[in-house]
Structure 1
Amino acid sequence: MDYLLTGGIVLTLAGVALLLACVWLAVRAKRSGLPDDRMKAALQRVVALNLGALALSALGLMAVVIALILG
């Protein structure tokens, strides 16, 4: 169970790091002063990355909870 717990913690921290990167990318895009169409495209890429990071973090948290229940 230690491997499941450690893997879950790593996945969760990676997801949180990607979420922070999404915030940084969104703020950088907002401050860049791009035209509306390019701004929309940049933020759509950030949203896609954000959803992936959220899924990664959720999978990690599920692994941690399962490891705690079984251990």
Structure 2
Amino acid sequence: MQYLIWIGAVLSLAGVGGLIWCIFLAMQARRAKLPDEVLRARLQHVVMLNMAALGVSVIGLMAVVAGILLG
């Protein structure tokens, strides 16, 4: 089950990369001095991407744990 561990590790790293990307997107949106409604819409989009990245990371961690338990 070693392949499952490596796939899970790649997914986890991709999820963490997505979380870091969301941080940069949120900082960029806040520095842009946008009107409140536009800023709110951008941050809602960032929150959606953040949840997706977190989900990918969790799936990766579950794959790693499953690979360890089955291996």
Query: Aligned residues, how many?
Result: 71
Gaps (5+ residues) in structure 1? none
1:1-71 alignment, distance < 5 Å: 1-71=1-71
CA distance in 2, matches of 1:45, 1:3: 34
Q: Identity over aligned residues, as a percent? A: 52
Gaps (5+ residues) in structure 2? none
CA distance in 2, matches of 1:14, 1:6: 12
Q: Which runs of 4+ in 1 moved over 6 A?
A: none
Task: Report the TM-score when normalising by structure 2.
Answer: 0.98
Task: Report the TM-score when normalising by structure 1.
Answer: 0.98
- Aligned-CA RMSD value: 0.4
